[in-house]
Amino acid sequence: MAKAITDEDLDLLDELGVDAAPAASGGRSAREQRIIAGFEEIERFYAEHNRVPEHGEHRDIFERLYAVRLDRIRDSAECRDILRSMDTHGLLGSDNSSSIVREDSPLTDEELLSSLGVDAAESEDVTQLKHVRSRDEIKAAEEIAQRNPCVDFDTFKPLFDKVQQDLASGHRQTLKYKDNAEVKKGDLFILDGQKVIVADMGEPFVSDYGRQDRRLRVVYDNGTESDLLVRSLQRALNKDKTSRRITDPEMGPLFSDEEDEDDLPSGWIYVLRSKSEHPFVAANRAVLHKIGVTGGEVKTRISNAKKDPTYLLAEVELVASFKLANINRKRLEALLHKFFGSARLDMELKDRFGGQVEPREWFLVPLPVIEEAIQKLMDGTIGNFRYDPAAARIVAL
């Protein structure tokens, strides 16, 4: 004789994913609504996959959950009576059973969790799931894993070969991928040791979670491709701690393989902080920085700072520096100064000869924001952003 599902069973199933507060249904008790809600999730799985959920370690954790839930429902006369009129796919019958639990072999709480891949011994509370990925994480992993042969790979192979040559010659560089950084058509990355190109992008849309996304065609250098979402690629790049962005040698005049007379074989972007005791400088010392570019040693450049109004006639400290190669110094410096122009220091000083001097390279910008701007400059995305002085942060255009 089949046993009825107890309140304890329903509580456990609720912990494992059954919606505890389904939409109200006329004349239905809360208990009946919970049973119906759990069964509707199984029906949605059947409609999507054209099969009942199955047990097994190779199955998705949610499929295994549905399989256990269906077994419990089939084993309960009470549940079958409640659900029979809405069983459009015949899921309650034994013909479709994936693994029916019999009365003489009921699942304990520990066995139920074990069937879902959770070791109950790891926790005093056997209803507390551990190491279970969110649905978003599972979906992202599945999308990345689902690769198909790229039928027109001959079109992309010469590009991958050229990229490899450019990396070997230094014509291109790789930069650490910044979490959730912008992804656009033509971008190149290194993901899980493979070179990847974003070959195409679909139209923007809003996902079920209310977030904007786009469908991508991503081609890998091993001749495969994936059809995945921007957010899925971003998550994969975030997860791979060795992921890199491959720079574009044609970013513009700041990055070129042909040297102009003003190009530098090497150089530095430097960020300085003043030690001046001027009241305004002292009050804003933490956010007041000089941003410059030099082709020589920074220490040599600032050795006489206290005599130079460019350095506010005071000693300075070097708080950050970034090494460059083959960069047009004047253009680079002008771009950074223009980007932070809205936060430029408005101040006049007298030089040692009594002349009025207005320093033009000092900005009221926090150091982390300067570092973020330089990163966007190096990965070629700075043109998509502006500095908001009121919020003291970089915002998208």
Contact 144, 228 (CB under 8 A): yes
Query: CA-CA distance, 322 to 222, in Å (whole number)?
Result: 34
The residues of the chain scoring below 70 in pLDDT are 1-27, 94-145, 169-170, 209, 249-266, 325-327, 348-357
φ, ψ of residue 338 in degrees (nearest 5)? -65, -40
As beta bridge partners, residue 388 has 393
> Within a 10 A sphere around the Cβ of 46, how many other Cβ atoms?
19
φ, ψ of residue 38 in degrees (nearest 5)? -65, -40
Residues contacting 4, CB < 8 A, separation 6+: 76, 77, 78
Instruction: From 294, 328, 156, select the one nearest 225 (Cα to Cα).
Output: 156
Chain mean position to CA 270: 29
φ, ψ of residue 289 in degrees (nearest 5)? -135, 145
Give CA torsion, residues 80, 83, 86, 90, to 10 deg: -30
As beta bridge partners, residue 118 has none
Query: CA-CA distance, 290 to 311, in Å (whole number)?
Result: 8
Query: CA-CA distance, 84 to 69, in Å (whole number)?
Result: 16
> Within a 10 A sphere around the Cβ of 336, how many other Cβ atoms?
21
pLDDT score of 12:
55
pLDDT score of 196:
93
pLDDT score of 160:
92
Contact 126, 110 (CB under 8 A): yes
Residue with tokens 């919970």: 34
pLDDT score of 290:
92
